Amino acid sequence: MLQKVHDLFRLRTNPLLFFTSSGIMLLFVVATLFIPEAMGAFWADVAAFVFDYFGWFFVFGVSVFLIFLIYIGLSRFGRLKLGADDEKPQHSDIAWFGMLFAAGIGTILMFWAVAEPANHFAEPPRAEDLGIEPRSQEAAQEAIGFTLYHFGLHTWTIFALPGLAFAYFIYKRNLPPRVSSLFQPILGDKIHGGIGKAIDIFSIVGTIFGIGMSIGLGTLQIHSGLAARFGVPEENWAIWVIIGTVTVVATISAVAGIEKGIKRLSNFNIGVAIALLLFILLTGPTVFLLRGMVESASIYAGILPEVMFWNDTFADTGWQQGWTIFYWAWTISWAPFVGIFIARISRGRSVRQFVAGVLGLPTLFTIIWFGIWAAGTFDIEFERGGGLVDTVLDEGPEAAMFAFLEYFPLADVTSAVAIMLVGIFFITSLDSASLVLDDMCNGYDGDGRPKGTTAPHQRAVWTVYIGIVATVLLTFTPGEEGGVAVLRDVALFFGLPFMILAFFMMYSLQRAMKEDAGEIGFLRSRRWLKTLPPEEYERRMEENDPTLANIVVAPDYAEGTQPENAPEVEHAEQPEIVEEYRIRTGETPTVDPVTGEPAEGPGEEPRS
């Protein structure tokens, strides 16, 4: 039945993953529309349980992931290339940074640039522990330190760990771009079985909710800016127009692909964001802002060892539940999406370059970004009469940036620019998510498919799903916080299993590296054949795709690519469809042991 519907709509995907994930999302939307109070209460109870019993686990886990990544980057495995040993990066450093940043937390940095420092300034996180007076100089330092803790190394650790694992298993072992592939050293060819499919369905649904939360916050901020500057009424139809417009543009960008769509939008938006930052720096108290920016790095370095395992154990104020634990759970719920996307744009980089770049570059930019915005916020409070923090607390975080811009020249223009920035960051997150969700369902790189086999309308499905989820929850859920609270609680629920899986992910990644790499100075690794899901292999076999000579279904490596001192690994037994193709064509898989690429012709011996 599923296959018939799949073929009717001319899809190229896994019917079970696609339609099961779609069915879960449809069920959620319908239930929210018809029993919103019950849905809200249910998810609130689930979130309270996770907060109470597993909050410590999130704080502990993310810090452990950071330590693991630093270890991997500095170890001998840091020299391994994410691709062939002599492969070069596909994108320049600037373009790479722009894309990973825009798809990662660009929208969130716009939302919290003023809001988070202002909140922590009014209510210091460790006020009871350290006796910090609200709205004091010590409170300002505390606010900067915790803001950078939330958006610096730890946030990017949550993205970098799955990103590195995806890059390794996709480009070194040639496995499908699915979350289940990250556990191939543990599951073997069962990544295509029931356990693997369950992991993938859970990951797809969790990603939609995580992105939905980001879209919800971005929509509220755009709406707030339009209301403050242009008098747009605070009505549901305005929310619908905002989400609808962004969804349409994101769909066009996603169908266009990475090079024509996402890359151009990301680079443009990073440039405009830097221009806005420079405007604030030059038209504000420039020297004070520069001093605050530099000092923020010192504050962050000093507070990080203190808070990375801090759990509010003794004061037990509950502060962490609404901030740190929520951030980690929410971020990890959509980390598979960002991880796969970062992997897709990072081919050709070494493990060490990947770790240093994904952790270091965004964190450096975060320190500059928040250092200037936070210093500007505190200058307003200490030197310019104050009032900004009270506005943020009264009107909500979505109004914070626009209230801040009131204290600078050309507020109407800068507010319009800020709205555009949020919108484009919104679009780049949404179109990146649609590409990744499509890859996770079909089991191969959407931009790397043979010509003529693409199904771009599949990508549009995911942008529409995310837009519908955000729309329904923002406009049809009752309560003071409405759908944002439900999205937050659902993201928390999905975050806990992902945290547990991440520990297995670390083990699986290190085990794969040890299996594939020798102990010599130049690390030559075993070359793995391209792996496709069975259903895609069958489709390509029916189309007489000549590349199948170097493609398998059960993960396996090519003959002649075993490093001398690496442990022996048995070849996987291939399903009947693979043997049928090889018998029918007389072709055997051949891979160049130097480059890891297929030899010049099917059936030829590997070149030396």
Render pLDDT for 547-576 as a digit per residue (tens, 0 to 9).
888 888 888 888 777 777 777 778 888 888
- pTM (two decimals): 0.85
Of 450, 484, 516, which residue constitutes the final position of a domain? 516
Partner residues linked to 598 by β-bridges? 591
Token pair recorded at residue 505: 């992910």
Q: Give pLDDT tens digits for 291-303.
A: 999 999 999 999 9
Residue type, 225: G
For residue 1, is it within any domain? no
Proportion of the chain above pLDDT 70, given as a percent: 87
pLDDT band at 115 (very low <50, low <70, confident <90, very high): very high
The pLDDT score that the predictor gives to residue 398 is: 86
- Please tell me whether residues 509 and 530 are part of one structural domain: no
Percent of the chain predicted with pLDDT > 90: 39
Give the count of domains, the chain: 2
Do residues 359 and 324 both lie within one domain? yes
- DSSP of 363-382: HHHHHHHHHHHHHHHHHHHH
Same domain? For 507 and 558 the reply is no
CATH number of 437's domain: 1.20.1740
Examine the domain organization and report whether 458 and 566 are in the same domain: no
Q: Read out DSSP for 478-516?
A: -SSSTHHHHHHHHHHHHHHHHHHHHHHHHHHHHHHHHHH
Query: Are residues 498 and 583 located together in one domain of the fold?
Result: no
Asked whether the predicted pLDDT for residue 169 surpasses 90, the reply is yes
Domain boundary among 516, 551, 583: 516
The pLDDT score that the predictor gives to residue 44 is 87
Nearest residue to 211 (alpha-carbon basis) of 334, 325, 47 = 334
- Could you report the per-residue pLDDT of 224-272, keeping only the tens digit for each? 888 877 788 878 888 888 888 888 887 777 666 655 556 677 778 788 8
- The last residue of one of the domains, among 460, 492, 516, is 516
Regarding whether 565 and 478 lie in a shared domain, the answer is: no
Give domain status of residue 20, yes or no: no
Distance CA 595, CA 99 (A): 27
578 and 452 within one domain: no
Say if residue 486 is in the same domain as residue 362: yes
Provide the domain limits for residue 595: 526-608
Res. 182 pLDDT band, cuts 50 70 90: very high
- The residues, any chain, with a CB within 8 Å of residue 595's CB and separated by 6 or more, are 84, 85, 86, 87
326, 488 in Cβ contact below 8 A? yes
Whether residue 530 sits in one domain with residue 474 = no
Please tell me whether residue 598 adopts helix, strand or coil conformation: strand
Q: Which residues pair with 530 in a beta bridge?
A: 551
442/553 same-domain check:
no
Residue 12 domain-assigned (yes or no) = no
| 546 and 505 assigned to the same domain | no
464 vs 510, which has greater pLDDT? 510
Instruction: Indicate whether 409 belongs to any domain.
Output: yes
The token duo for 261 is 């769509």
* 597 in any annotated domain: yes
In this prediction, residue 445 has a pLDDT band, given cuts at 50, 70 and 90, of low
Does 137 map to a domain? yes
Query: Closest Cα to residue 492, out of 63, 107, 125, 50?
Result: 50
